[in-house]
Structure 1
Amino acid sequence: MMTDRGDARVRRLENLGMPWEKLFGYYQAVQYRDTIYLSGQLGHDDEGRIVGPAGLDDAGKVIDVSGMEQQIRQTYANASRLLERFGASLDDVVEETLFVLDMDEAFATAPQVRKEAYRTDMPRCASTLVATPRLAMPEQLVEITFRAVLGGGASS
């Protein structure tokens, strides 16, 4: 954890120790006041390897998206780990945006994974699903951003 006291505001900063954090120059999570902003989370393991990687053709174009469910599961797990560092959980998430390479596969897999991650049939957050032609890493099929508010979790 790092705390930035550059001015009258105080920010808590967190990273996961992935090589791309320093390469791109960003933090995985920033807390400002009672809000936690998670940068786009990926479905990677502790060593930074993408789980359920997309199948690629010889030109590097995605030809197999069957690993999307596995990537979404891992992405929610990674987000949960980050939120825990702030004393928060997915219960505190008020907004998420899912960026996916294949909308059909996302609709087939994401609803059930989300319900399991949030432990409810109706996750209590605003959610946006966006199809995009490319994400940061060639084998990446999904990226999810989150915004959580401490003390903002609803209990019913």
Structure 2
Amino acid sequence: MQSNDVDAAAVIGKEAAYFGVPWEDAYGYAQAIKVGDTIHVSGQLSHDEKGNLIAPASLDEAGKPAEFSKMEQQMRATYANAVKLLARFGATLDNVVEETLYVLDVDAAFTAAGKVRKEAYGTARPLCASNLIGVTRLAFPKQLIEITFKAVLSGAEAKPR
């Protein structure tokens, strides 16, 4: 980060969270940013602590996902990564007010999302706005899903740590 970036972040009270995976430096971004009582979580995917994709999709000869049977596993791991990031700011999925799921196959995602979202949020009707958007590709060829989150902290949680 440049010194003027640090100064600007300090002025508006930005806090960042990282996983230490290779693409954070390669692309140049934070996994999550907290400003005031709001946490913006960048697109999460199903990676482990070293940046290896969990449940990667098999690829066809053209390098595109050949099937979408690993959607549920990838989705579950993606929510787990979001939980880790939110916890760094004293938040949980209960603080999430909006999520957007970017997927390569809407039908496979819709089928998996009902089950996985209910498990992740611990309720039959998660109290957050949710968008499911089909896209033609994601950052990594074997990736089937990416999820962004916006969370809001309550009064006690929003205080600087």
Pair in the same fold by TM > 0.5? yes
* Structure 1 runs not aligned, ≥5 long: none
The correspondence for 2:154, drawn from 141, 151, 154, is: 151
Residue matched to 2:131? 128
Q: Contact 2:21–2:50 at 8 Å: present in 1 too?
A: yes
Q: Following superposition of structure 1 onto structure 2, how do residues 1-156 of structure 1 map, counting pairs within 5 Å?
A: 4-6=6-8, 8-151=11-154
Shift of 1:51: 1.1
Deviation, structure 1 residue 5? 4.3
Give the drift of 1:134. 0.3
**How many aligned positions are there?**
150
Question: Distance between the aligned counterparts of 1:146 and 1:32, measured in 2?
Answer: 14
RMSD: 1.4
Higher helix share: 2
- Whole-angstrom distance in 1 between the partners of 2:7 and 2:16: 11
CA distance in structure 2 between the aligned counterparts of 1:89 and 1:145, rounded to whole angstroms? 14
TM-score (norm 2): 0.90
Q: CA deviation at 1:84?
A: 0.3
Q: Output the CA distance in 1 between the equivalents of 2:42 and 2:118.
A: 21
- Where is the strand percentage greater, Structure 1 or Structure 2? 1
| Secondary structure of 2:80 counterpart | helix
